[in-house]
Structure 1
Amino acid sequence: MTEVLTKRKTLLEARDLHVQFASRGRKARAVDGVNLAVGEGEIVALVGESGCGKTTLARTLLGLERPTSGQVLYGGAGLDYGSRALKAYRREVQLVLQDPTGSLNPRHTVYEAVAEGPRIHGLANEEEIVRDALSRAGLRPPERFFLRYPHELSGGQRQRVVIAGALALAPRLLVADEPVASLDASVRGEILALLLRLREELGLSALVVTHDLGLAWNIADRVAVMYLGRIVESGPVEQVLTAPRHPYTQALLSVLPESPEPVVLTGEPPDPTRVPGGCRFHPRCQVLGVGRAAEVGVDGKCKGEPLAVLPAVPEPQVACHYAAATGS
């Protein structure tokens, strides 16, 4: 897997990305030094708890937020924030939101919803584009759905309409924010299978933002685990999810049904206005809490020595003093 990934040409990249917001008189470091790359034809899962910064990172990669510092690159070139350049960019990098009901205008038919993008970009052969996009999204025969309204569709069908709206612009990359979170379990597998099929048929790349490591296992080539504005572990999905090295990744995996024993994290949920010194995870770290970090002499480092920002490489990597000391 790693050998294959190293040969993929990078399509979208975050390079030392920082995004800050003012919050109650303090600065919230929503994205606090991130390097992340998505290759051509690659699916990368960005995983973490709510509030870890993954949605802000996704919005910044889409050009919806401007970075405080650092850079977004597409095809090797820095993102141009001029209105004309952003319009062209967003045709090639499309967003798929988690809530299809909220994404679709209840007063617009399916045809109008899918045709909106082609109309904005002045594309010819509108009806042919809409028909092809609906068909690729699994709504067949497409004409049967043209005059339907969102309330007349199932949740899975609405999500397929949202995906069809993205496909209508022939993008090269999808940014899918919790694409199956609002769907029944029986429908989730169908939507994930659809995303995989689109990758095979169209060569689409995707960044899938999720809190669900089970979803990452089923769809991604690589996974990046994010905590408090920074990626703390990344690598090929099989290696990260079968042998997680960061205590936070281990805790996330422990809630899956097949896990023998859940890890209960201590402390408060992360606050991006108060990033702890040392390892940002140390106030909640189960390894530090039970004394295992002290046993190998890194407890002081965990509490006081910052970790380097991980680079955007395909090989497995982790930002953890304990993992570095033990080789785990």
Structure 2
Amino acid sequence: MSTVETGAEAPAPGGGDGTPVLRARGVRVVFTSGFGGGRAAARAVDGVDLDVAPGEIVALVGESGCGKTTLGRVLLGLERPTSGTVEFEGDPLGYSSRDLRAYRRRVQLVQQDPTGSLNPRRTVYESVAEGLRIHGGTTADEAERVTRALSRAGLRPPERFLSRYPYELSGGQRQRVVIAGALVLEPEVLVADEPVASLDASVRGEILRLLLELRDELGLSALIATHDLGLAWNIADRVAVMYLGRVVELGTVEEVLSEPRHPYTRALLSVLPEAGGDPVVLAGEPPDPKKVPGGCRFHPRCPVLASGEAGRAGVADRCRTEDPGVLPGGAGAHTTACHWARAREGTSPGTA
């Protein structure tokens, strides 16, 4: 896989007393639909522990519908979890208007579609200044903060862009305006949902390089939700692989993407152009959060179980009947919610 060269050495994640800047603990989100006896519950997020350390970039990867966007919304305070907690710098997130207003100054969203997220009737200056006005009203240094944010986002000299409208900008420039709108409040954490998915391949590397530079220069932390494992390789310190509402593999980017343990992670990696060999075609239907299987939630589509490898390892029955459990979300050992992977590594559920 290719890498993005930044010319700067990334700081080691973590710091201070080791408290994560952002943490999900036992987060579950259940959506219900229908009426009366026909009501159905969809477990969009079904038990997630995940930490983001100061100065760390965590990539949350998985297929569409696996729960990445919902988990991101929970971490932003846009969605309240059905159970579990979100913590910021060790303190549980409060959901009063006052608490959320203060929180959203420090944890900012970078949206997927810059064209859709920018008002076509507003200039670049007005779009970037909007966050300042929402959170603090018009301030004497507003113009200075807007130009500084644009400059940090790579739009230089910023004066060239202040009076432009979105239609006058390229896709990459529009995404930089969106990032500047987040930076203007000087947050500690960015939560980005597919931040380069709508951009041409030639522009993606520039935006990824920008995010790395912001981490190196400002100490920003980030959670980046993506289906693109190549993006994760280029930008992340750690990778959390999500399937049907739960993290099924977690470790450093080198561990997860160079030595994947979970059959689902292996299948995702097999379709990359650099992978070589035949891609793994998953059997069965795409996952339905209203019908989470018993045992390992991946077992109906698992090629290891279907091929008999799990049986030869003596774990086929466990795959069908025993839930591998929720992985611990902190930095540490490469962990996998897979009975077969644990049997191969000779680890127990508590240590895998």
Q: TM-score range by the shorter chain?
A: over 0.9
Q: SS where residue 225 of structure 1 aligns?
A: strand
The answer to whether residue 32 in structure 2 is matched with residue 14 in structure 1 is: no
Q: SS where residue 45 of structure 1 aligns?
A: strand
| Contact 1:2–1:236, Cα closer than 8 Å, also in 2 | no
| Partner residue of 1:227 out of 222, 243, 260 | 243
| Contact 2:13–2:56, Cα closer than 8 Å, also in 1 | no
- 1:308-323 to structure 2, matched below 5 A, reads 308-314=325-331, 315-323=333-341
- After TM superposition, the score normalised by the length of structure 2 is 0.91
- 1:5-44 to structure 2, matched below 5 A, reads 8-24=18-34, 25-44=39-58
Q: Which residue of structure 1 lines up, in the alignment, with residue 212 of structure 2?
A: 196
Q: Which residue of structure 1 lines up, in the alignment, with residue 313 of structure 2?
A: 296
Describe the superposition over 1:223-281 as per-residue Cα deviations: whole angstroms up to 9, x where unpaired.
00000000000011101100000000000111110112210000000000000000000
**Which runs of no fewer than 5 residues in structure 2 stay unpaired?**
1-10, 347-352
When residues 3 and 201 of structure 1 are mapped into structure 2, their CA distance, relative to the original with a 3 A threshold, is closer
Q: SS where residue 10 of structure 1 aligns?
A: coil
The separation in 1 between residues aligned to 2:177 and 2:317, in whole angstroms, is 52
The answer to whether residue 267 in structure 2 is matched with residue 237 in structure 1 is: no
The residue type equivalent to 1:14 in the other structure is: A
The separation in 2 between residues aligned to 1:236 and 1:4, in whole angstroms, is 13
Q: Which residue of structure 2 lines up, in the alignment, with residue 146 of structure 1?
A: 162
| Contact 1:246–1:319, Cα closer than 8 Å, also in 2 | yes
Identity across matched positions, percent: 70
- After TM superposition, the score normalised by the length of structure 1 is 0.97
| Partner residue of 1:113 out of 102, 127, 151 | 127
Q: What is the number of residues matched between the two proteins?
A: 328
- 1:122-137 to structure 2, matched below 5 A, reads 122=136, 123-137=139-153
The separation in 1 between residues aligned to 2:12 and 2:25, in whole angstroms, is 21
Q: Which residue of structure 2 lines up, in the alignment, with residue 80 of structure 1?
A: 94
| Contact 1:23–1:273, Cα closer than 8 Å, also in 2 | no
Report runs of 4+ in structure 1 exceeding 6 Å deviation: 1-7
When residues 30 and 303 of structure 1 are mapped into structure 2, their CA distance, relative to the original with a 3 A threshold, is same
The separation in 1 between residues aligned to 2:121 and 2:65, in whole angstroms, is 32
The residue type equivalent to 1:96 in the other structure is: V
| Contact 2:189–2:221, Cα closer than 8 Å, also in 1 | yes
Q: State the Cα RMSD in Å.
A: 1.6
| Partner residue of 1:94 out of 96, 101, 108 | 108
| Contact 1:96–1:176, Cα closer than 8 Å, also in 2 | yes
Q: SS where residue 283 of structure 1 aligns?
A: helix
Q: SS where residue 116 of structure 1 aligns?
A: helix
The residue type equivalent to 1:280 in the other structure is: R
Q: SS where residue 64 of structure 1 aligns?
A: coil
The residue type equivalent to 1:121 in the other structure is: H
- Greater Cα offset, 255-264 or 172-181: 255-264
